Amino acid sequence: MAQVVRDSGAAEDDGVSVCPSCHDVLTRQQTPNGMVYICPHCGGRAAALQVLRKAHATDSFCRDLWLKACAPDAPQSRPCPHCGLRMTQVTMPGTEGPLKLDVCRTDEAVWFDPNEFQDVPLQPAAPQSVESELPPQAREKLALLKLQSLKEQEAESPDAGPDESWQWLPAIFGLPVEFDALPMLHRPGSHGESPSHAFLPRSRCC
């Protein structure tokens, strides 16, 4: 394995990212949340703050991590894997205990030693409705049952909704439905009227 050793605080121009612990060249790995750089020897990895946010790290974790890294008295640590400048060391609460992370303020990157990345606190997953977990055929049957129920309610109260059953479909899917809409006096552009007068409703008699 080729090794590239950087001088303290010296930036490289070769575009190679290097592990700050064992100085091995990092492997680029594309993830659904963005690019991460993994050391094939020790398993450490570098990730941008944006990647942490997309990986659903809590907002408070990302915010406090950056604020602590930018503090004037933040202690310097190892060189950044990307630019070679000294990172700042930040202690953050993790799911399994305190995390001692290294943050590069120039690249907005965070270095995680082995097993540290898995201890980043994540936002709770949004609860999913029962309907979203059903197969398509079951959702279709459920929609038909809702439609039948609405039609039965309509039969019991003739003035409660639209005249046609298909007009209930937008309501089933959460779309707005207008009841008792006033009819248009004329269709747009008919009888040579200007568009501004075409949509005037017919007045009702008292």
pLDDT digit string, tens, across residues 80-127: 999 999 999 999 999 999 999 999 999 999 999 998 999 999 988 766
* Average model confidence (pLDDT) across the chain: 77
Question: Where along the chain do its domains lie?
Answer: 27-119, 127-174
Which of 103, 99, 120 minimizes the C-alpha distance to 54?
120
pLDDT digits (tens, 9 = 90+) for 59-72: 999 999 999 999 99
Pair of tokens at residue 81: 């894997």
How far apart, in Å, do the first and last CA atoms of the chain sit?
91
Q: Which of 171, 196, 170 is nearest to 185 (CA)?
A: 196
Residue 152 in this model has a pLDDT that exceeds 80 = no
Higher pLDDT, 103 or 6: 103
- Give me the pLDDT at residue 8, please: 38
For residue 18, what are the contacts with CB-CB under 8 A and spacing of at least 6?
A: 4, 5, 6, 12, 24, 25, 26, 81
Q: How far apart are CA 117 and CA 16, in angstroms?
A: 22
